[in-house]
Amino acid sequence: MKLWESASLIRSKNAGPFVLTLDIMFSDRGTYEMVRDSGALDRTAVAAIYGVPLADVDGYACDNALALKFSMPRRLSQGEFGDGDMHGGQQYAPLLDIEVTA
């Protein structure tokens, strides 16, 4: 199953001008726990997908919110010449096709 098929919301946004945050939220505990425990979406996977060092990726499992959250430095500061996504709102796309198996 693809991540987009199991999550109720997958989004990205700036957490200030230098940090990007990724939020993956689920509508039920069973699906959340299956994805959380699958190993398909962890700090190592996010670092590989976004091409950043593992040490630069923070990851949190928010059990009470049924959400996974990751933060990492933006490749370019918000508004820097060449920044094609001022708000970081389009950076979630590489997560959509992650294959999740129980």
pLDDT per residue as tens, the chain (102 positions)? 899 999 999 999 999 899 999 999 999 999 999 999 998 999 999 999 999 999 999 999 999 999 999 999 998 889 889 888 888 888 999 999 999 987
What Cα–Cα distance (Å) separates residue 53 from each residue in 7, 50, 57, 58, 62? 26, 9, 7, 11, 23
pLDDT of residue 90: 87
pLDDT of residue 86: 85
pLDDT of residue 88: 84
pLDDT of residue 31: 95
Maximum Cα interatomic distance, the chain, rounded to a whole number of Å: 43
CA–CA separation, 36 vs 3, rounded Å? 11
pLDDT of residue 45: 94
Q: How does strand 58-62 pair with strand 67-73?
A: antiparallel
pTM: 0.89
Query: CATH fold of 3-74, please?
Result: Alpha-Beta Plaits (3.30.70)
Q: Which of 72, 88, 86, 76 is nearest to 14 (CA)?
A: 88
